[in-house]
Structure 1
Amino acid sequence: MLEVIEIQTKAAQGRTEPYLCRLSDNQLYYIKGPQAGPRGLINEAVCAWLGQKLQLNIPDFCCAYLPPDILKYDAQARRVLGDGDTVVFGSRLIPDLIEITYSNALKLPAQFARDLFLFDYWIKNEDRTMTEHSGNPNLFYRAGSDNYVVLDHNLAFDEDYNFGRNAYLHPGYKVWLSSQRDVLWQDHYSAKLTIALQGFEQYAATLPATWLDDEADYLQQIRRTLLQYNDDEFWEVLI
């Protein structure tokens, strides 16, 4: 397991107050620790794994050990990250990212927008919104490119997820609604989700035991949520 060897700065945004840190592979990562809660950390790791398997552009990620000594003289970081001797979630820094605006959202590549919309529906994630007036898209692009980067899934698998209340706020909603009615769309996405879910149990077994200590049944709850795509009801609301 990698280890945090240097704490640099707190991110300019983010409700869980991630910190930019250098890890023992000498790369920079934004880390989330106790401030995200055990479920938040599990969500981040599971969704990053699933999203990459669906070929969404999610940064490389890892679990890393945060030693107590590195926080000893940093009261601000200690307020957010605790006293250390914990395992954190790390998302590797991709430089020069710019959060999308409403006008950017209208120009998303159609296939990407559809894939992202279905992904967030699958993982019951309401934390990706964009309207003409406001939003929290958790979606970025690199300046001068169409390279969109997907971030932040600590609020996924929301037990109170409400498709009707949330779907129209998603950056990919209009594209999905306008173009998903092809007769093969359900077969296409069912196959993609089946492939993405392969190896879930094996991956889940690699997650830190300290995250699971108080959430013994949470991974099975996640698995049940993900398997809902096998039910007709999962697809009916998407038509």
Structure 2
Amino acid sequence: MRYITDIQDIAEQGFSQPYRCLVDDEEYFVKGLRSTRISQINEWLCGNMAQAVGLPIAPFCLLQVTEEMIELLPTPKRNIGKGAVFASRSQAHCVLLEMAHIEKITFKQQIQLVAFDWFIQNMDRTQGNTNLLFQPHTQKMIVIDHNLAFDNEFQAAQFCQLHIFQAAAQKLANDFVYQQHMEQFLQPAITAYYHAKSQIPPEWHYKNEELDLPTHYPYHKIEQQIYHLQHGTLWSS
């Protein structure tokens, strides 16, 4: 695991307000203790699952914040917390994906992302907040941010109406053939989930640095979705 060499500031965008950090000359958006353990675990698990199925997710990794660095930081930056953090590498020459870019994204990629978001019960990919990047020079989309996955308030109808790729969501909801294809597409996510779960840093199982408040991450939600995928009931709602 590599070590963060500089913590610059808090990013303005994003509900979880990640820190902009450097590892040597590379910039990362980092989610530490301030972003909550559940947010960190969501990012790690969903990032690995997205990577396994071949979605164009921004490169990510675990980085380390040393106790020595924390002691030298001003108070606001100390809230990143010591130990392992989730880091997504900054992407150059990108803009936030907007409605005008949709025609540049293939329908195959659209429906794959919709299927993945349905699988992880992610309501946080809407027309007003896409959590996607777009590279104008390559005409490619880059997937980011899964901190609000496995939403307690997930609603199927609202998901289909509000997703940035609404047409693909409606197609998937009503087309049995597409549903079968997407079930096959999602299969690698199952193995990736269990592998990523086994690699979660020990300190993430606690909400605080004193390691006396368990995180109580809802793994059962993911495993319920895996059950539905394996038994052909993922789209039943």
TM-score interval, smaller chain: 0.7 to 0.9
Equivalence for 1:137 = 130
CA RMSD of aligned residues (A): 2.2
> Secondary structure in 2 aligned to 1:28?
strand
Percent pairwise identity? 26
Q: Distance in 1 between matches of 2:217 and 2:189?
A: 21
Q: Distance in 2 between matches of 1:7 and 1:198?
A: 34
Aligned amino acid, residue 174 of structure 1: A
Aligned 8 A contact 1:123 1:226 in 2 = no
Number of residue pairs matched? 229
Q: Distance in 2 between matches of 1:126 and 1:179?
A: 16
Q: Distance in 2 between matches of 1:187 and 1:212?
A: 36
1:87 to 62, 77, 84: 84
CA 1:63–1:183 in structure 2 vs 1: closer, same or farther (change >3 Å)?
same
Equivalence for 1:108 = 105
Aligned 8 A contact 2:49 2:188 in 1 = no
- Equivalence map 1:26-37=2 (5 Å): 26-37=25-36
Displacement of 1:215: 3.3
Consecutive unaligned residues in structure 2, runs of 5 or more: 207-213
Aligned 8 A contact 2:131 2:143 in 1 = yes
Equivalence for 1:96 = 93
- Equivalence map 1:16-165=2 (5 Å): 16-23=16-23, 26-71=25-70, 72-78=72-78, 80-81=79-80, 84-130=81-127, 135-165=128-158
The TM-score with structure 1 as length reference comes to 0.86
CA 1:165–1:176 in structure 2 vs 1: closer, same or farther (change >3 Å)?
closer
Consecutive unaligned residues in structure 1, runs of 5 or more: none
Aligned amino acid, residue 183 of structure 2: S
Displacement of 1:228: 1.9
Equivalence for 2:185 = 192
Displacement of 1:203: 2.4
Runs of 4+ in 1 over 4 A off after TM superposition: 178-183
Displacement of 1:232: 4.4
Deviations 1:173-225 (A, max 9, x none): 21342477665323322122222212432321111011123235633442223
The TM-score with structure 2 as length reference comes to 0.86
